[in-house]
Structure 1
Amino acid sequence: MERPLECRASSAPERHSAATGSPRRARPIASARSPPPVPNASLPPSPPSHDAPPVLHPSGVERPFRIAINGYGRIGRCYLRALHEAGLAERYRIVAINEPADLASIAYLTRFDSTHGRFPGVVDRSERELIVDGHAIHVSHASAPEEVDWTAMGLDLVVECSGQYGGRRDLQRFIAAGCPRLLLSHPGNGAEDVDVTVVFGINEDELRGPERLVSNASCTTNAVVPVLDCLHREIGIEQALLTTLHSAMNDQPLIDGYHHADLRRTRSAMQSIIPVSTGLARGVERLLPALAGRVQAKAIRVPTHNVSAIDMVLSFGREVSAEAVNRLLRETAAGPQRGLLACSDEAHASIDFNHDPHSAIIDCSQTRAVGAKMLNLVVWFDNEWGFASRMVDVTRRWLAAAG
């Protein structure tokens, strides 16, 4: 009989290319995150940020990157705010927003946020501009990419947060209209629709600079892939069943209504626990091709406004113990994934992780072994703020690679 596995995190773990599945050596994570404002949470502080090399004008004077946001909803506003709270708003300058809503509403919802609190700066508006800490941001209300003169703005990047464009043909409309690069806040329709899908901490090295269409995957993919990558690399996962317990989203009505083609999503978001479809398994396989055919996933919407969880049932090829897996994940969170993963043993509820910038927080108090080779894990994540923080990380890495 095999002895239970004693897990140790490698000091330089192999990572796998999302395109080929071939191993590559990891390197220290350089990312910009504000520390999590969670009292008594037993979470390690985020690492100090490592600035990307400065981009200079021909005159030799450092210039800010110029960024536009298309779709200024929950993630678009969190992205702008994450840049601000990380102290990066001067260098990564939001110069334009395209959003159908009126400017008064845009300014109001930038200033006041029921989930993340008041904006930690001065928000104002003029006739056609949102003004944040004295910086004017041009606001347009176009309904199609072709209706915006992206070229005239001198942009380095457009962040697509509307979620309305998923196929390559539709995404290319932005490029044809003058966008130099497009970063998606969603996975796109498929791997073939973007040049690369990035989960920061796993495959950001695939950002070489010439890419035009990059996806930041999804919030759940960003939460689960680093955990699965660690466990598969160190132990070997045979099968994984993932259940996302996700906060309500804006595709659900507050009260029953004709709101969605999915009949379950016509029901009140605040009165029921609602199963919905999910592409998480495909997202995992896109980033971790070694797990192709081994992952199934389902999603359940719960009546909370933010912070979600993933219940993971994993079977391994070797004997494991809950203690050994927790130790492995703690070492990984303190080492190669510091600032991206965290572990906690505290008696938390989901609200404790509101505004937490980590991709995932492993609740070590909930780790359970079932027999010798099966394990159950619970992972928390702020599906808004954690994801927006990774979009900032990908922005910095991509623009640095592009020079």
Structure 2
Amino acid sequence: MADKKIKIGINGFGRIGRLVARVILQRNDVELVAVNDPFITTEYMTYMFKYDSVHGQWKHNELKVKDEKTLLFGEKPVTVFGIRNPEDIPWGEAGADFVVESTGVFTDKDKAAAHLKGGAKKVVISAPSKDAPMFVVGVNEHEYKSDLNIVSNASCTTNCLAPLAKVINDRFGIVEGLMTTVHSITATQKTVDGPSMKDWRVVDLTVRLEKAATYDEIKKAIKEESEGKLKGILGYTEDDVVSTDFVGDNRSSIFDAKAGIALSDNFVKLVSWYDNEWGYSTRVVDLIIHMSKA
């Protein structure tokens, strides 16, 4: 799969499903071939995709309904299914190599494996899973093996926390710590929409370090990584920012240098922002691309 455009299907056209579709449609190395959602019509799919209350109106190729089983993104046809049982969805006929499982319902390996019966080759669950291996791009995606057919992209919070924690642990060592996440009102991720009008979040990470370090040394380490191996994944800012500054940011984690504090050389509080929809959806596609090359 490494030498051709990666064909992707999406199960569940809710918040994450639609944004994953937006990410795919703005890239040249992946292709959206099918969408399944048994709870909404193609007309409603079109409306909800085109007009997003958080991320704004779709301003790329024109989207319209060709018929009840086909959407047209410009001249690009995308097959639409309305099937409840995952094993009955004919992903193979639609040409989907990868399926993004974004209903929030089929999050364990056995349930997600039903997509393989319909012809999909790999499944990426857009939620934490109790038994599927979880990968965070920028942290542990290198551990993926090609024989793994069902994986999880972990949670949006983990995608924010893990890159930051990795830098701190690699550079200074983490003896112990605790994390708090603060977010705006959300709807439980279903295949029908709910009142999630905002999607910023912030992670507050407090850790005790193994190796003593000043706050300036910690900032320097994070900045270096944000411009190096973790560029595009981990961000760094010293601006006076607010939550809405990060809506639409495709990075997983943006470290707020002014919001943190060192209580001592071994005890620090770190703050990092993230767009828990757009950044996460971008990582879903990044993980698929990585898997296709394994």
Q: What is the CA-CA distance between 1:97 and the residue it aligns to?
A: 0.4
Q: What is the CA-CA distance between 1:305 and the residue it aligns to?
A: 1.1
Equivalent in the alignment of 1:93: 31
Structure 2: which amino acid aligns with 1:104?
E
Equivalent in the alignment of 2:109: 168
The 1:311–1:199 alpha-carbon spacing in structure 2 relative to 1, beyond 3 Å, is same
Structure 1: which amino acid aligns with 2:14?
G
1:326 and 1:367 in contact (8 A); partners too: no
Q: What is the CA-CA distance between 1:93 and the residue it aligns to?
A: 1.4
Q: Distance in 2 between matches of 1:211 and 1:360?
A: 27
Structure 2: which amino acid aligns with 1:372?
D
Q: What is the CA-CA distance between 1:308 and the residue it aligns to?
A: 0.3
| TM-score normalised by length of structure 1 | 0.68
Equivalent in the alignment of 1:107: 46
SS of the residue corresponding to residue 67 of structure 2 reads coil
The alignment-based identity, stated in percent, is 28
Q: Which has the higher strand share?
A: 2
Q: 2:267 matched to 1:329? A: no
The 1:332–1:70 alpha-carbon spacing in structure 2 relative to 1, beyond 3 Å, is same
Query: Which residues of 2 match residues 2-401 of structure 1 at below 5 A?
Result: 53-55=2-4, 64-85=5-26, 87-88=27-28, 91-99=29-37, 100-121=39-60, 122-128=62-68, 129-188=70-129, 190=130, 193-194=131-132, 196-251=133-188, 305-401=198-294
Structure 2: which amino acid aligns with 1:54?
D
SS of the residue corresponding to residue 375 of structure 1 reads strand
SS of the residue corresponding to residue 365 of structure 1 reads coil
2:202 and 2:271 in contact (8 A); partners too: yes
Q: What is the CA-CA distance between 1:353 and the residue it aligns to?
A: 0.6
1:320 and 1:374 in contact (8 A); partners too: no
1:349-399 per-residue CA deviation (whole Å, 9 max, x = no partner) reads 100111001110000011201133110111000000100111111111111
Q: What is the CA-CA distance between 1:136 and the residue it aligns to?
A: 1.1
2:25 and 2:31 in contact (8 A); partners too: no
Structure 2: which amino acid aligns with 1:68?
G
SS of the residue corresponding to residue 369 of structure 1 reads strand
SS of the residue corresponding to residue 108 of structure 1 reads helix
Aligned residue pairs: how many?
287
Q: Distance in 1 between matches of 2:124 and 2:101?
A: 6
SS of the residue corresponding to residue 56 of structure 2 reads coil
Q: Distance in 2 between matches of 1:399 and 1:135?
A: 22
Segments of structure 1 that go 5 or more residues without pairing to the other structure are 1-51, 56-63, 253-268, 271-302
1:343 and 1:362 in contact (8 A); partners too: yes
Q: Distance in 2 between matches of 1:204 and 1:135?
A: 31
Q: What is the CA-CA distance between 1:400 and the residue it aligns to?
A: 2.2
The 1:70–1:304 alpha-carbon spacing in structure 2 relative to 1, beyond 3 Å, is closer
Which structure has more relative contact order (CA 8 Å, sep 6+)? It is 1
Q: What is the CA-CA distance between 1:251 and the residue it aligns to?
A: 2.6
1:211-255 per-residue CA deviation (whole Å, 9 max, x = no partner) reads 210111111101110111111111111111100002221139xxx
SS of the residue corresponding to residue 84 of structure 2 reads coil
Q: Distance in 1 between matches of 2:140 and 2:160?
A: 14
1:327-352 per-residue CA deviation (whole Å, 9 max, x = no partner) reads 11111111111111111011111001
Q: What is the CA-CA distance between 1:304 and the residue it aligns to?
A: 6.6
Deviates more, 1:217-226 or 1:147-156: 147-156
Larger Rg: 1
SS of the residue corresponding to residue 197 of structure 1 reads coil
SS of the residue corresponding to residue 346 of structure 1 reads coil
Structure 2: which amino acid aligns with 1:80?
A
Structure 2: which amino acid aligns with 1:96?
A
2:112 and 2:125 in contact (8 A); partners too: no
Deviates more, 1:67-76 or 1:161-170: 161-170
SS of the residue corresponding to residue 313 of structure 1 reads strand
CA-atom RMSD in angstroms: 1.9
SS of the residue corresponding to residue 159 of structure 1 reads strand
2:246 and 2:275 in contact (8 A); partners too: yes
SS of the residue corresponding to residue 146 of structure 1 reads helix
